[in-house]
Structure 1
């Protein structure tokens, strides 16, 4: 199946993409709202910064798609909601997808939809719920020609991590979950960086011919972010999906321009840092 919508996601020159994720509000965690309290302003700022895509929810997608003209970021639509990020976790955890998510994505002119595939130690029911969602979404995505991005998330044991949103960067665990995402029919995969970033070629290898975009995770300093970006691209990643490292940055337009330069024109880390430093707040 030809997924023509992806022509609006990936840069035609580099074949890569920067997707800025601003779907955090869907998960109902107060700490996730820092820096994105006013979504109208956030989306306006991102449209001006012009990454390849912005990842939004059903309730916020109109903020992007109501912007007139063709020269704006593409829409990636989040399709599912879960309560796995609390500290401490709720006694009952869940994950559900919007029943008409693919039709909504078509109506909203999205280039892809995104759904989780989570591994929580000792909680197989959340992975089962994700797999059921992915199977339902895959059937509809095939019918409508909508690319399906699967997001494998290997999370730490909640008791050891102290609760909350803690990713496990173990290479073998990430490789295993990425492989399952591919087996479930992913058109795109959005995966965490490994603790040893030099291992990332193993994640790329197991994804095979499915484009893999690397998640940003928690906030880090600019040099660390840019060095990690360059490293995963060198090992074959097709792009990046960063959220808090862009929207919580003091210079969101500057860091966006820097990341786009690394992705699309092969800028060095030092050249990208200079772009950030020379940009306006």
Structure 2
């Protein structure tokens, strides 16, 4: 690992653990709740303890004044949910653009098992090569998604994260397999840090239980978007998640400390 990659990784997490809030959903879903006034959302989640935020390149000037010195990743591909095929992510930015915009890293989405897997494999390999030439770390969003694919099967997820490492990724985001025992296989499938996606928002307790379970078997944290930026109190939920990931807080303690409702 080059000095540049290593230095920038320290801006994206703490002690090998990561709490990232992706907010690239505007290209996929439009200006949904939490993203219209993205400035306030960024300020809330980074004040709450998020290590880094992630957007598409066009929002860089809205990120910087509000990020409380948190790290910043620029996402390099995307698609829309109203287009012909949401799984067909097309490249939307280059590593050079991310460097010029002051990002600390780049991210790239790949759907392992989809009809578009071959193109995405080639593109991710090219992105990691160029990023490392410039000292930039790469977060691979590696999902098991395609016809007949179980998106939460640990074997499929283990394949996806291993593929991402073999293509040069430095951090790997994937879905949670549903329980610690199966997720341990996913974590053990790569030597790189594995962080979990959030998906559709659930209750605060369920969110924190998932985070705690993933970390308990070696998960390196989270990259949660809607779960955090669409929460009624983005500051509180990001604070609680960061406390579980970085400080090992018990769930009830985290919920009480940050005034989240104590749910059954």
TM over 0.5: yes
Once residues 55 and 87 of structure 2 are traced to their aligned partners in structure 1, the CA distance between those partners, rounded to angstroms, is 23
Map 1:84-95; keep pairs closer than 5 Å. Answer: 85-86=81-82, 90=84, 94-95=88-89
Partner in structure 1 of residue 10 of structure 2: 7
When structure 1 is superposed on structure 2, of 195-204 and 257-266 the one drifting more is 195-204
Once residues 92 and 223 of structure 1 are traced to their aligned partners in structure 2, the CA distance between those partners, rounded to angstroms, is 30
Once residues 265 and 48 of structure 1 are traced to their aligned partners in structure 2, the CA distance between those partners, rounded to angstroms, is 16
Change (3 A) 1:242 1:268: same
1:73 equivalent among 61, 70, 82: 70
Q: Are positions 1:154 and 2:182 aligned together?
A: no
**Unaligned 5+ runs, structure 2:** none
Once residues 13 and 204 of structure 2 are traced to their aligned partners in structure 1, the CA distance between those partners, rounded to angstroms, is 24
How far residue 21 of structure 1 moved from its aligned partner, in angstroms, is: 1.0
Once residues 23 and 112 of structure 1 are traced to their aligned partners in structure 2, the CA distance between those partners, rounded to angstroms, is 14
Deviations 1:128-147 (A, max 9, x none): 22112212212211210100
Q: Are positions 1:45 and 2:44 aligned together?
A: yes
Once residues 46 and 174 of structure 1 are traced to their aligned partners in structure 2, the CA distance between those partners, rounded to angstroms, is 28
Q: Secondary structure at the match of 1:76?
A: strand
Q: Are positions 1:252 and 2:252 aligned together?
A: no
Once residues 21 and 45 of structure 2 are traced to their aligned partners in structure 1, the CA distance between those partners, rounded to angstroms, is 8
Partner in structure 2 of residue 269 of structure 1: 251
**Unaligned 5+ runs, structure 1:** 161-165
How far residue 91 of structure 1 moved from its aligned partner, in angstroms, is: 6.3
Change (3 A) 1:241 1:93: closer
Question: Contact 1:53 / 1:76 at 8 angstroms: preserved in 2?
Answer: yes
Partner in structure 2 of residue 109 of structure 1: 102
Q: What is the number of residues matched between the two proteins?
A: 258
Once residues 90 and 49 of structure 2 are traced to their aligned partners in structure 1, the CA distance between those partners, rounded to angstroms, is 31
Q: Normalising by structure 2, report the TM-score.
A: 0.89
Deviations 1:176-227 (A, max 9, x none): 111111111111111110033421111111112x111111111110111111
Question: Contact 2:8 / 2:105 at 8 angstroms: preserved in 1?
Answer: yes
C-alpha RMSD of the superposition: 2.4
Q: Secondary structure at the match of 1:51?
A: coil
How far residue 93 of structure 1 moved from its aligned partner, in angstroms, is: 6.5
Once residues 44 and 166 of structure 2 are traced to their aligned partners in structure 1, the CA distance between those partners, rounded to angstroms, is 37
How far residue 46 of structure 1 moved from its aligned partner, in angstroms, is: 2.8
Once residues 266 and 183 of structure 1 are traced to their aligned partners in structure 2, the CA distance between those partners, rounded to angstroms, is 31
How far residue 48 of structure 1 moved from its aligned partner, in angstroms, is: 3.1
Change (3 A) 1:91 1:63: closer
Once residues 252 and 91 of structure 1 are traced to their aligned partners in structure 2, the CA distance between those partners, rounded to angstroms, is 31
Map 1:80-229; keep pairs closer than 5 Å. Answer: 80-83=77-80, 85-86=81-82, 90=84, 94-98=88-92, 101-120=94-113, 123-124=114-115, 126-155=116-145, 157=147, 168-208=151-191, 210-229=192-211
